[in-house]
Structure formats: structure tokens, C-alpha cells
Amino acid sequence: MEKRELLYEGKAKRLYKTDDSSLLISEYKDDLTAGNAAKKGIEKGKGAINCKISTRLFTLLGEHGIKTHLVKTIDDTNQLIKKVDIILIEVVVRNIATGSLTKRLGIKDGTVLPFALVEFYYKDDALNDPILNDEHCIMMDLVKSESDLEELKRLGRDINSILKKFFEERRLNLVDFKVEFGVDSEGNILLADEISPDSCRLWDMDTNEKLDKDLFRQNLGSVKVAYKEVLNRILK
């Protein structure tokens, strides 16, 4: 598969066209951003670690019947993916309260939630990704119908159940995560983007140590050692 011109550069990945119009190549970068790129950094090798983590998690989810955009991983930092129209809704699923949820609603950090909480955020950096309710999503034509929103919620919960169990078996607590979806040429909703410690919160179940991007967000040290630890555990 030939890598052709750059189609789009995001905060953590570059997307390239290929010689097949239905396929793209997603290249993982070493860049780290927080607060919508208000804070920036680079850790050499982070992209390759996240590419491996995301490959393992997308493969796992595929084995459990979740349709994803991943076709195959080409090398350390490049994945061949199906071209989709990205739905401009970030689907966040939470098991434990932290981050923006504690700030917005005053829930004590670390509170175990009574059920997996699914939230929608508008994928728009200029607006700082504001929270959305179902009616905002329909009003703004972010999805075709109410049933698409129900499908996004169901997919979020199913992905959470699969990943939560997988991480627990590796002594990691899946605190929360963000996923993105896209629509393929046949109208199927596919899991897209990536799932990595850039987009999930993972706490060690024994020490409560953070093994995710909060290390960078909160200036707690290098993320690479933590991400490598996550990779080692999930490859077991």
C-alpha cells in the first residue's frame, strides 16, 4: 500500500491518502497536548507505544464484535484504516469520577460511579469541546437520527465492558475514556481514531498510580515509562 499525500494533521496523528480511495494511513506522532493544545510537549517513542496499544485494543474489540476502522498495522507508527466520515461527537464513558466531571458537578474525585456514565462532547477545539445533550446532537445534525445516538451509547457501554474487564485482569482500573466513531461508505458506524493512554485514564489497581496523560497534564513526570508499563501489561 502506497502512502500518498498528507490529508490532515491532528494533535496526535497524521492522516495520509493511499492508492486505494477507500483506505487511509494513520501515523502516530510523538506530540502530547493538553487543554486543547494550550500545553504542548514531545516524547520520543510515544507514538510507537500508542500505535501498539491501540492496535491491541482495537483487535480485542474486533474479536468481541465491535466494528472498527482498523485494517492492519503496517509498522511501528502506521496503521492502514478504512476511510470514514468522522462523527463530530466525542463519546466519553466514565467508571470513576475525576477530571471535568468532578469540576462540573462537584462529585468527589475517585468516587466509583453507580453505573457506566456516557457523555457526549462536541468535537470542536475552537469551542473547547463543550458537553452536548441528545437534542443538541440532533439539532446540530451531528447524527442522522435518535437511533444513531442510542447506538453510540450502546457502543460506548459495550466497549467499556470489554476494556474494563481486560484491564482489570492486568491490575489496571479503567477510570474513563474517550472514543470517536465514523460512518463508512455503506452507512455502518465504525469505531475510529485511537484508544491509548492519551485518551483513557488508567490507574494501577494496587497503588492508584496514574499511568496516563494526566502525568503530562499535571506535570507529574514522563509519560513514556507509564505508557510502556501499560503496553507491557496489555501484551500479557
- Applying CB under 6 A, the residues found at the interface with ligand UDP are 92, 99-101, 129, 176-178, 199-201, 213
C-beta separation of 30 from 42 below 8 A: yes
Could you tell me the smallest distance in angstroms from the CB atom of residue 140 to ligand UDP?
18
Q: Please identify, using beta-carbon distances, which residue of 129 and 151 lies nearer to ligand UDP.
A: 129
Nearer Cβ to ligand UDP, position 164 or 201? 201
What is the nearest approach in angstroms of ligand UDP to the Cβ of residue 76?
22
* Inter-CA distances, 193 with 19, 146, 223, Å: 21, 23, 20
User: Residue 161's Cα: distance from chain center in Å?
Assistant: 15
Residue 93 and residue 116: Cα distance in Å, rounded? 6
Residues 100/85, Cβ–Cβ less than 8 Å = no
CB of 199 to ligand UDP, least distance (A): 4
Cβ of residue 185: shortest distance to ligand UDP, in angstroms?
27
CA dihedral (95, 100, 102, 106) in degrees, to 10, reads: -140
Closer of 101 and 192 to ligand UDP (Cβ): 101
By beta carbon distance, the residue nearest ligand UDP is 99
Question: For residues 18 and 211, which CB has a smaller minimum distance to ligand UDP in the complex?
Answer: 211
Shorter beta-carbon distance to ligand UDP: residue 52 or 201: 201
Give CA–CA dist 221/183, Å, rounded.
Answer: 38
The residue type of 27 is: E
Closest separation in Å from C-beta 160 to ligand UDP: 12
